[in-house]
Amino acid sequence: MKLIFTIFITLITIQPLWAQITPLAIGSSIPKSEIRMKDVSGKLVSLSDIRTSNGLLVMFSCNTCPYVEKNQSRTRAIGSLAQEKGIGFIVLNSNEGSRDSDDSYKDMQQYARAQQYAWPYTIDSKNELADAFGASRTPECFLFDANGKLVYHGAIDDNPADLTKIKRKHLELAILEVMEGKEVSVKYSRSVGCSIKRKS
């Protein structure tokens, strides 16, 4: 009985922390765009630096989440598509709670090399960007149009767990619609992945 009470108290204590994470609303402007973050190259970059006249794609990710691993080829493909279409692309690692282990800066550098990243992969210090975006998962994507307005938030596609069973490539279609001057037809999808490890 005492154990059940302890678990209950723990849950009601933790719950408000998650309740504070409110996802950025569709139509919102890019938050915290001037904050400088350390890239795996050693340079300091901001979202404003990466944003282009065609837009910006922000992905919250990490090194070790099984869902990130399942999406590795898709991350490379979507990054290449964004660059091909002249949209800025940046990957943020907000796992401050794992910074002393597998999401260390050194491990991020090794991961970026192994994945042949051709775009910035930066440390989101103190979860500042994750908190501003209301990001809670890895991977989780936010696409902004040429006006800097959020037009899509969610997963890369409709089957993060199985590459062979994808029926709709949400993010790819959103990018193509933006480039064609169309309204994004699916503006939100549920991100499936590991929780961002915020530091307590």
Homologous superfamily in CATH for domain 2-195? Glutaredoxin (3.40.30.10)
What number is the average pLDDT over the span 58-73?
Answer: 95
What number is the average pLDDT over the span 92-117?
Answer: 95
pLDDT digits (tens, 9 = 90+) for 139-179: 999 999 999 999 999 999 999 888 899 999 999 999 999 99
Question: pTM of the predicted model, to two decimals?
Answer: 0.89
**Considering the chain, what is the average pLDDT of its residues?**
90
Q: Give percent above pLDDT 90 in the chain.
A: 85
pLDDT the model gives residue 12: 33
At residue 20 the predicted structure's pLDDT band, cuts being 50, 70 and 90, is low
SS (H, E, C) the chain: CHHHHHHHHHHHHHHHHHHCCCCCCCCCECCCCCCCEEECCCCEECHHHHCECCEEEEEEECCCCHHHHHCHHHHHHHHHHHHHCCCEEEEEECCHHHCCCCCCHHHHHHHHHHCCCCCCEEECHHHHHHHHHCCCEECEEEEECCCCEEEEEECCCCCCCCHHHCCCCHHHHHHHHHHCCCCCCCCECCCCCEECCCCC
The full set of domain ranges for the chain reads 2-195
Q: Give percent above pLDDT 70 in the chain.
A: 90
pLDDT digits (tens, 9 = 90+) for 35-60: 999 999 999 999 999 999 999 999 99
SS (H, E, C) 157-189: CCCCCCHHHCCCCHHHHHHHHHHCCCCCCCCEC
